[in-house]
Every structure is written in structure tokens, then in C-alpha cells.
Amino acid sequence: MHIESLKLRNYRNYDQLDISFDDKVNVIIGENAQGKTNLMEAIYLLAFTKSHRTPREKELIKWETDYAKIEGSITKRNQTFPLEIVISTKGKKAKLNRLEQKRLSDYIGSLNVVMFAPEDLSLVKGSPQVRRRFIDMELGQIQPTYIYHLGQYQKVLKQRNHLLKQMQYKKEDRTMIRVMTEQLVEHASTILERRFVFLELLRKWASPIHHGISRELEKLEIKYSPTIEVLEGANKEKIEAIYLEKFHEVETKEIERGTTLIGPHRDDLIFYVNGKDVQTYGSQGQQRTTALSVKLAEIELIYNEVGEYPILLLDDVLSELDDFRQSHLLNTIQGKVQTFVSTTSVDGINHETLNKAELFSVTNGN
């Protein structure tokens, strides 16, 4: 799939933009603070309805205006259709084929995007929250119903935590909390079951990619670390039974603490290179290679699930990779993935790539 054209209105530092792209490689060149990341963010937003760098949507609206609009024309399976996001002080609207989609799960998945930016190093170095967000976003875009279960889970979790807080101070009968536990487990087990399947696929693609990028010197392993003792790959029924038992075990402790102590909202991913935890022992280069392999694996994973390659956004990262890794990356995607590369200078970019690319220069939102 690819994005044919993009229209922006009052988006970040863009007043008005109307632009068409190449379906292979697009290089966005500009000095700092001109609007390169903003442009990538707009494409990301069309796919996910969310920014990759802020949860506060107000920030996306150009200063001193009251709404922002992003329109994209997407080609997928030989059909071209419009996507549109409007953000105003009243909220956000997402339109697919000019029809507003009230449920996020009806919109997300229309456009698939994989982004790799310097802050993605936090996938390895950052907190478990970053890794859970990664799983949720990536899984959500190939399986929109996952977003539904995640939303329901978060809703029940909030209510349950609220009740646990109240129970901390006044002894209440436990009937209500048990009802909520059952509701929570219903969604928790679906989430975990699907994460297991996703992990299996991610591993399948990430390990050989990592092996290639590391010049066949390193072996990447990915482990999922849940809050219950369960064998990876277990089905929903099995997971449900284990959760119920464990919740029963920790019930008193949860009331004492006033919060939910187990569940997918506390799980984590651990990356190992040659048997050692990369977060703790990996060099900067090993951490970057791990994050990159996982992102590149996403491309193949989406292709296998969706039947089309996603769009790849490389914000400020290409020039940070050494020559070997840059060529390896570009060879992997060569010709099949519409790619956007941003850079402050063309010097760091492969000649071969530059020759094939369409170049865009960005100055002050133009």
C-alpha cells in the first residue's frame, strides 16, 4: 500500500500543504525545526489516529487556530480511497471513505504504518510501558478487534482500581469486586492469548533479520514476561483459569494495596542478545540493532497478515546507521515498501538511495 497524496490544514507548523509522493522512496530534507517530523507524524496519525510523540491532541493544532485537518489518499489492493482526521477543541473525527467512523476499531487498519525514530531506542532501554504500547499498537493495526478488547479491559481495570481503593478504607462485601474480576479476566485472557500469537510471529521475523544485520554474529531472543505462570501459546480457556486462580490468591493483598496487581497491563517483553539481556548488558549499537530488527520484522509481519506492505517512516535514523546497516536496511525494503526518510543533510544517505528517491525540501512548514 502507499500514500498518493497528503493535504494538511493548520497542522503543527503547516498552514496549508498539498503534496504528492513517490510510491517508492521519499527523502525529506530540512534543517532543524522546519517540519520534517511533523510531516511524518501526520502520516502516522492517519494510520493510528494518534501521534507517536504526544497523547495531547491539542498540541497538533497550529497555534492560534482552532482545528487541524489531515487528508490522505491511500492506494491499497489497487483501490484508492481517502482518509481524513480532524482535530478540534471539541474532539477528534476520523473518516474512512468520507464516512465518520465512531469506533476506532472500524478505522484503524485502513492504513498500515511502521515508524522508526531515534526515540524507538526506548523500546529496548525504556520502561515496560513502552514495550506494552508497542505490542498494543502493532497488534491493533493488524487485528482491529484487539483494540476493542484492550479498551474494554482498560475500562474495567479503572473501575476495579477505583473500587479497590474504596475497599482499602472501608470493609465492603467482596461480591462486587469478584464480578469485576471475572469481567477483567474475560478481556485479559483474550489480550494475552493474542499477544502470544503476535510474539510468535514477531520472533519468526525479527530473529533472522537481526542475525543478518549483526553480520551473523548475534542471536536475538524475545521473551514475554507475564504476571502469571503460564506457558506461552496457551489458549484463552487455559489462561482464563490461571488468571482466576491467581486473582483469588492475591485478592486480600489487592484490597490492602488498593490496586490491581496482576494482568496484561503489568507484563513486559525482554530482549536477549546471545543469551544476555540487552537492556542491561547491550551496547548502544546492540540496542539500536535490536530495536531496528523488531521494527523491520513488523514490515514482514504486516505483509503476511494483511497481504500488503505497510508504509515505512524513518525519521532521522538512516544517517545514524553505519554503512553496512544502512545498505542492509535498504536492501530489505528495496522497491516493495513506500518509504519516507527524513534528514538534515543528504551527506549521510546512500547514493544509491538518493538516485532512486524523490527529494522534498522543507522550510518553515513549506
Number of residues that bind ligand ATP (CB under 6 A): 16
Max intra-chain CA distance, the chain: 71
Calculate helix-pair angle for 236-257, 144-169, nearest 10 degrees.
30
Burial of 307 (0-12, 13-18, 19+ CB in 10 A): exposed
- Residues from 31 through 60 that contact ligand ATP (CB under 6 A): 32-38, 59
Residue with Cβ nearer Mg ion (36 or 195): 36
The piece of 30-38, 158-166, 221-229, 349-357 that touches ligand ATP (CB under 6 A) is: 30-38
Residue with Cβ nearer ligand ATP (35 or 226): 35
Residue with Cβ nearer ligand ATP (11 or 271): 11
Residue among 191, 287, 267 at smallest CA distance from 223: 267
List binding-site positions: 30-37
* Member of 2, 7, 52, 62 binding ligand ATP (CB under 6 A): 62
CB atoms within 10 A of CB 280: 7
Residue among 69, 81, 70 at smallest CA distance from 1: 81
- Residues from 34 through 73 that contact Mg ion (CB under 5 A): 36-37
Beta strands in 97-241 (DSSP E): 99-100, 113-116, 220-225
DSSP bridge pairs for 96: 83, 99
Is residue 279 at the binding interface for Mg ion, with CB under 5 A as the rule?
A: no
Is residue 12 at the binding interface for ligand ATP, with CB under 6 A as the rule?
A: yes
* Residue position matching grid coordinates 514476561: 225
Closest approach of ligand ATP to the CB of residue 354, in Å? 18
* Member of 4, 5, 9, 13 binding ligand ATP (CB under 6 A): 13
| From ligand ATP, Mg ion, none, interface partner of 13 (C-beta below 5 to 8 A by class) | ligand ATP
Separation of alpha carbons 208 and 216, rounded Å: 9
Contact in structure between 268 and 227 (CB atoms under 8 Å): no
- Residues from 283 through 322 that contact ligand ATP (CB under 6 A): 316
Residues lying near ligand ATP in the complex (CB under 6 A) are found at 12-13, 30, 32-38, 59, 61-63, 316, 344
Residues lying near Mg ion in the complex (CB under 5 A) are found at 36-37
